[in-house]
Amino acid sequence: MKSFAVVMLVCLVVAAESDFPHLQPGVPHGSCEVDWTFSMKCSDVNAAIVKQIKAWKVNYKLWWSNPTQMKVSRVTSQHFQDDFTFTFEQKTNMCKVHGHSEWVTWFVFDLDNNYCDMFNVLEGAGLVNTAGYTETTSDKICTKYSSRNCSAHKNS
C-alpha cells in the first residue's frame, strides 16, 4: 500500500509538470498575474473597483485599500478562496494596474477563477469599456487564461 501511494504521488508530480505548465516551481496552486492600463486617474480606477466590490459584498471582501494598493478575497461557489491584490501606479494621463491572484487553498485545478475574479470586478465597474484600456498576461503567468470563461463566474 505504501508503494502504491508513492507511485501515485510521483504520477501526480509528473502530470503537474507536463499537463499544467502554468505551475511555477514551489507554487502548487493556481495563480494569475495581469497588467492593465486605463486612460484615467488611478484614484478613479481605485474608487470604481472599491464600489464594485462593495456591491458584490456577498462573495467578495475588501480587506483594505489605499491609493496605491488594495487586497480583496473571493470565496467561490465551491468554497475555495482566492486572494488578490491590485497595485496602482499613476503615469502621465494613464493608470497602470497590476493584478495578482492566487488560491489560498492548495488546489492545482484552478480553471480560470484567479483571472476571472479580478476581471469580473473590472468589467462590473465598467472599466474594461473605458478609453485606453489594455490588458497583458498569458497562460505562462495566469492559469487557464487562453481558455477562460468569465461569464461562468459572474456575481449578481
Domains of the chain, CATH where assigned: 29-153 (3.30.310.80)
Q: Using pLDDT thresholds of 50, 70 and 90, give the confidence band for residue 49.
A: very high
Assigned C-alpha cell, 72: 480583496
Cα angle value 49/53/58 (rounded, 5°): 170
Helix (H) or strand (E) run with residue 119 in it: helix 113-124
What is residue 22's predicted lDDT score, i.e. its pLDDT?
A: 39
Map residue 135 onto helix, strand or coil: strand
The residues that bridge with 70 in the sheet, in sequence order, are 65, 86
Residue spans of beta strands (DSSP E) within 18-132 = 31-38, 60-66, 69-75, 81-91, 94-103
Q: Using pLDDT thresholds of 50, 70 and 90, give the confidence band for residue 58.
A: confident
Q: Using pLDDT thresholds of 50, 70 and 90, give the confidence band for residue 66.
A: very high
- What is the C-alpha to C-alpha distance for residues 121 and 119, in angstroms, rounded to an integer? 5
Residues 103 and 109: beta-carbon distance below 8 Å: no
> pLDDT tens digit string along 15-37?
343 333 434 444 456 789 999 99
Assigned C-alpha cell, 39: 486612460
pLDDT higher than threshold 50 for residue 95: yes
Map residue 72 onto helix, strand or coil: strand
